[in-house]
Structure 1
Amino acid sequence: MTQNIDPATTRRALIKSAFVIASGAAVTACVSRTTHVASAPPLAVPSAAPIPSAPAVAAKKLPTGIRPELVKRAVAALDRHSMRVPSHDRIAIADFAAPSYRPRFHLVHLGSGTVESFLVAHGIGSDPEHTGLLHRFSNEVNSEATCEGAFLTDEYYVGKHGHSQRLRGLDPTNNNAYDRAIVVHSSWYANSDMIAKHGKLGRSQGCFAVGEQELAKVFERLGPGRMIYSAKV
């Protein structure tokens, strides 16, 4: 006899499974709002993946390279916003406690525990002296600062910085993100050669700016309909 699976129960089960993984382990207003939405995703990336029909199995490999407390907070945010985030298989965690010369934009597969980490720039307003460290978050318009909290990845478009992806802030600390045009895009100042030359990345105006050679991979792994969690714990 076929057993019907309640989608809400399925989502909760997947998130709880990911939370067990986390607890067990030890990006300016960058673009103009007048830019044109692309008629199709700018890169060969899939649409948002459907929510799995069954809970993820226990991870064979725990997430590495991310502080456990940050993972726990990110998974808790996914739980809190579960009904607004269509896909729960992968999330991105931006660890802004780390300096910009370290790969601190982590793409985590919550089922397997695998992690891919990338360089990401923070905003000018978050580091006015350009120390390479994020000193403050801000949700204010024209602050040119990075903001914290959970974001939902949205549509692709082509703008000032080329292929980009809009974000929607889900928390009071980042609910101006869409109006501020806080997005994911690539830039020369987020390329790895900046570290060899300057010991740190350049700064965005608040966006999640990744290296020019890494954007396609980030788009492929993350896609629309998933969560980015930005924090400094």
Structure 2
Amino acid sequence: MEKPLKNQSNPQPRRLKRQLQRTARRVLPFMASLFMVAPMASPISKSLAGGRAPAAAAPKPAVPSTPSRAVRFSQQLRGVYAALQAEQQGLRFEVFAKAMTGYLNLRQHGKLASDKSLLTVVDFDLPSTVKRLWVLDLTNRRVLFNTLVAHGHNTGENEATMFSNTVESNMSSLGFYLTQNEYIGKHGRSLKLQGLDEGFNTNAEARAVVMHGAEYVSEDFIRQNGRLGRSLGCPALPMDQYSAIIDTVSDGTCLFISKSDAGYDSQFLSQEVAIAAWLPEEQPAS
């Protein structure tokens, strides 16, 4: 048999090549249409490590809007008020909120002792026959004391209606006070008070307005007289509690004496300053 020449071409590979080309022309448009219609596979994020961006960015989940600082401040006040169970012990929220605002202002101004988180509140909207003084432990969310407290002789009978910062007025004075040191006076153990509200209580020292115990602050006195006895302007306390209260609140804690609709105002009722003290701005990420 004669062998083919080396340069003689074999026609079969050429036929096979032509068949493959015809098949490709029919199949490739169909495959391309599939890629145009079908969605891309979900693990596209893996390509980000190699610097390749996905064909379409996945939608981000909705992020709830952040409440304003004022709203958050109000929410926190409500939370502390509830944790203290202050409403159950007769302390109204509006009085508590005002007292807390002043407390935070004073703390922001560095006027309070740094090692104590105590707030004493007196609500003279309530009659003298009601327990209207509270000592609040803000760290442990506890009401330490809730007791009777007297108002000044010329402030009113059972109801406290008149207030003064004048020497020898024998009236109670409204506003924020800073507790100071104790001393032994004509009422025994007594606690000095520094009035902080100009025009309302800054004559407390000159008037000797202090916290002390008195026999006329008792349930027995109420039963006999229909009201408490009255002081010369001091927030006088029951004899069986005054000493423990003085021990607790002395040396740099906040006392707030409140009365609505009495013309009282204070530089320490700035909500902006209170918010700054309680909700400092978040530090930017480094």
TM bucket by the smaller chain?
0.7 to 0.9
Residue equivalent to 2:98: 73
Residue equivalent to 1:227: 254
The answer as to 2:78 corresponding to 1:23 is yes
In the alignment, is the contact (CA less than 8 A) between 2:181 and 2:251 conserved in 1?
A: yes
- Could you report, residue by residue, the CA deviation over 1:19-76 in whole angstroms, capped at 9, with x for unpaired residues? 75533478xxxxxxxxxxxxxxxxxxxxxxxxxxxxxxxx744433211111111011
Residue equivalent to 2:124: 96
Distance 1:199 1:18, change over 3 A: farther
Higher RCO (C-alpha 8 Å, min separation 6): 1
Q: Partners in 2 of 1:184 and 1:193 — Cα distance?
A: 21
The answer as to 2:203 corresponding to 1:180 is no
Give the secondary structure class of the aligned counterpart of 2:205. Answer: coil
Distance 1:67 1:177, change over 3 A: same
What is the deviation of 1:222? 1.6
Out of 137, 152, 160, the residue aligned to residue 123 of structure 1 is 152
Residue equivalent to 2:191: 165
Residue equivalent to 2:163: 137
The answer as to 2:141 corresponding to 1:113 is yes
Q: Partners in 2 of 1:67 and 1:194 — Cα distance?
A: 26
Residue equivalent to 1:154: 180
Query: Aligned letter for 1:213?
Result: D
> Whose helix proportion is higher, 1 or 2?
2
Query: Aligned letter for 1:226?
Result: T
Distance 1:193 1:22, change over 3 A: farther
Give the secondary structure class of the aligned counterpart of 1:178. Answer: helix
Root-mean-square deviation over aligned CA pairs: 2.1
In the alignment, is the contact (CA less than 8 A) between 2:189 and 2:243 conserved in 1?
A: no
Q: Which moved more, 1:63-72 or 1:164-173?
A: 63-72
What is the deviation of 1:125? 1.8
Q: Gaps spanning 5+ residues in structure 2: where?
A: 1-71, 261-286
Give the secondary structure class of the aligned counterpart of 1:230. Answer: strand
TM-score, with structure 2 as normaliser: 0.60
> Whose strand proportion is higher, 1 or 2?
1
Equivalent pairs counted in the alignment come to 182
Residue equivalent to 1:35: none
The answer as to 2:207 corresponding to 1:194 is no
Larger radius of gyration: 2
Query: Aligned letter for 2:235?
Result: F
In the alignment, is the contact (CA less than 8 A) between 1:152 and 1:170 conserved in 2?
A: yes
Identity %, equivalent residues: 31
Q: Partners in 2 of 1:229 and 1:212 — Cα distance?
A: 21
In the alignment, is the contact (CA less than 8 A) between 2:166 and 2:203 conserved in 1?
A: yes
Distance 1:183 1:21, change over 3 A: farther
In the alignment, is the contact (CA less than 8 A) between 1:152 and 1:228 conserved in 2?
A: yes
The answer as to 2:86 corresponding to 1:63 is yes
TM-score, with structure 1 as normaliser: 0.72
Distance 1:61 1:231, change over 3 A: closer
What is the deviation of 1:192? 2.2
